[in-house]
Structure 1
Amino acid sequence: MKSLTTICAGILALLTPTMALPQPLPLDLHTADPTKVGYLDFYWKTEDESVYLALSNNSNPLDFRPINGGKPVVSPTLGTKAVRDVSIVEGVGRDKGKYWLIGTDLDIDTTNWDKATRTGSRAIFIWESRDLIHWTNERLVTVEDETAGMVWAPDAIWDPKAGKYLVHWASRFYAANDPNHTGNPTTTDIIRYAHTSDFKTFTKPQTYIDHETSTIIDLSILRVDDNTFVRFYVSGKVSGPVVEVSRNGLFGDWVTPSGTIQDSTHFEGPYPFWDNVQPGKAYLLCDKVGSVTGLSPWVSTDVTSGTFTPASGGNLGALRHGSVLSVTKQQYDALAALG
């Protein structure tokens, strides 16, 4: 009898170049990952809208310490030359080992919030890396047409059904006969999305969430498995982040669970991430709104219940709305060596 290896090799040899193998899917992220020893936080500062890094380890995931001597690893040179709401995207399948960093093109010090929603940037900042230290190929990719007033807080997640990355952001739109966007908008702030395979070209954007009478911004999605997802966003209907759960995919039926994010009034920019050690445990970081800004943490051991309680033991300092990536020992050591 031929060995399994020989049989598999024969099958692969019969595949034509046009018959692409299916993209491997990520593991269920709610299980513990023994290959990861820590967490890397990507953030920006109120006084300097560049990208900074902070590390924590498995012993205290929320004890983030700035690295690289407190200096930024990315300083934008395009657009407004300022980036906010940075999000790290990890490559899946054949992209394994590749990372993209995306963010909002906005320098609020040179404008005001009204103008930023009328004549703001319609592009997403994008950088790429293979070692999480050196970021190259800076670009601004325009994702909305001229009727959009802005593109805010982009984030992305692997869409297993599409076999591509689903990139989403918040936009507000104006009438086509109002090119200067001086009149009333035709929509509130809504969530839009497009698919991409390379973060260079994107499909035509479509609307993902529209509450019509209330604003929606700062969407972030946590994958439980290929069918179950938990999403977080900020809505004009309530004073804190919203939690919704779908058990039939990213475009499934989203329902509001019975649990809540406790004591989260006046917080925005929610970002969830899994614990590396304890299965089913996840954290949520949210950014305080108002004169005193900065991240605060929550924790849950049942994310689909929607219940998140304030977490203790963190050192989040002046970190702002960003994202977190679990890292291996090799990555952790290389990042820690930056000082």
Structure 2
Amino acid sequence: MTKSKLLLSVALASLILIFCITAGVSFGSTPIPVKTVWQIVGNKLSPDWFEVDWSLGRESIVWDVRFPRAILAALVGAGLAVVGAVLQAVTRNPLADPHLLGVSSGAALGAIVALLHTGLIFGLLTVPLFAFLGSLAATFAVMAVSRFTGGSAERLVLSGVAIAFVAAALGNLAIFLADPRAAHTVVFWMLGGLGLAQWQHLLYPGVALALSLTFLVLRAREINALAMGDETAATFGIPVARFKATLFVVTALLTGVMVAFSGAIGFVGLLVPHLVRLVFGSDNVRVIPLSALVGAVTLVLADIVARTIMAPEDMPIGVVTGLVGGIAFILLLRKR
């Protein structure tokens, strides 16, 4: 794919994402016309741009509830898909993703500890910080167990499953030891959801995604070399051990921040990179940015389903991604 075709693909995917975010804000238990949605957004960005002919209730639904939720869905979907694409390339394992490797479980454990046992000692940064530390600990635990048990690609996934079970068990223990009246707050992190989205929270996943994605896109060719094997990467002058460690820290940071604001959401990081590779090839110069956009579109659409299928109740988005992603992955396995 030439550079112009890549830019065209990115532009097209960006337009689809804007359309999906618009649909996400418009659809719901109280449908709001698309024209009204963008008039409200326009007036918020530039007051008195449009004549106000909508109710304060509709304005609150669009600006305070649905729009930040749709933006958070896009950020989380992009982040998880990028993490999956990078982990699959670096580990040379097509089953690698933050959920299956236990990284999401470690992040959820960190968030649970912060919420139930330490309190918000660092303000709004507390939950993302503890989630990052949990995901980082889980990442290096998976690598250590994989080396201990043989170091193969298959053992890596099995090690991830084992660490995910351990992290889940520790999370359940943390809930058991906590105040029963506060334990209901962690259901959000165990099932996945976007209902807590607020404008002031979007800064953290937004900055984390922007910095991580920029770094990974700039280092995409080196990630390509790692995907061909450590020996091949070393012949290109890449410090393999140090670069791998850097990538694991970056992916742990991205996973931790996303899980801190969305809970543990599965299958996005596993399925989206495979779909992108099927269409655009395996070059990570293309796969990483396009995975971000396709992941964003995927989770925005999943959130629309979660909000509307049982309206006015919200289904946990982790249930939607698990059901749809599992079935889609089975069909993908049969196709390939």
TM-score if structure 2 supplies the norm length? 0.22
Return the structure number with greater helix share: 2
Return the structure number with greater strand share: 1
Which structure has more relative contact order (CA 8 Å, sep 6+)? It is 2
